[in-house]
């Protein structure tokens, strides 16, 4: 199952990036480099706040995530986050790439977390978050959680 999810995520990222290159060319605006690690750390800090308005502010139109139990759109992700019980966590092993107004961040998370009543393992697990600059804000547009849920 884990190998299937990894392959699905890899294919999705490749398709997303290849489709971005087919978009009509727009005048190039100067986009400043952003610290992807800082975006992820703020996102996780906001997860602990468990506030719907904060989640709605983060999530971009067209948001999509993948978890072991399937894909979610923005509203479904907010519902999941509202049911997230997040304890202490450690974020590590950041890798960030930026292409104009899109930032892709991979990282590991070890956390005490329960999602929809299912306890997730605490061992470090890979995550991927994608952010897009919309107007003057960085919005969360995609996420992959590769931490398997305990049955």
Does residue 70 surpass a pLDDT of 70?
Answer: yes
Percentage of the chain beyond pLDDT 70 is 75
Domain 2-14+35-145 bears CATH identifier 3.90.230.10: no
User: In 10 A of CB 32, how many CB atoms?
Assistant: 6
Buried b (16+ CB within 10 A) or exposed e, 104-143: bbbbbbbbebbbeeeebebebbbbbbbbbbeeeebbbbbb
The beta-strand segments (E) located in the chain are: 59-67, 70-73, 84-99, 102-115, 118-119, 125-134, 137-145
pLDDT at 3: 59
For residue 139, which phi and psi values (nearest 5 degrees)? -110, 150
Does residue 136 surpass a pLDDT of 60?
Answer: yes
Per residue in 90-117, pLDDT (tens digit) is 999 999 999 999 999 999 999 887 777 7
pLDDT at 98: 95
- Residue written as tokens 């950041």? 94
What's the predicted TM-score (pTM) here?
Answer: 0.75
Does residue 79 surpass a pLDDT of 60?
Answer: yes
């Amino acid at each position: 199952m884990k190998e299937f999810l990894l392959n699905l995520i890899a294919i999705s990222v490749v398709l997303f990036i290849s489709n971005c290159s087919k978009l009509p060319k727009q005048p190039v605006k100067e986009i400043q480099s952003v610290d992807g690690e800082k975006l992820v750390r703020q996102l996780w800090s906001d997860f602990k706040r468990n506030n719907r308005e904060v989640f709605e502010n983060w999530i971009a139109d067209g948001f999509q995530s993948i978890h072991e139990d399937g894909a979610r759109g923005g509203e479904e992700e907010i519902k999941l986050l509202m049911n997230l019980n997040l304890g202490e966590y450690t974020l590590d092993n950041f890798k960030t790439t930026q292409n104009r107004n899109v930032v892709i961040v991979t990282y590991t998370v070890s956390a005490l977390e329960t999602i929809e009543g299912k306890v997730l393992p605490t061992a470090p697990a890979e995550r991927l978050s994608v952010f897009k600059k919309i107007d003057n804000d960085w919005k969360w547009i995609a996420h992959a959680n590769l931490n398997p849920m305990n049955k």
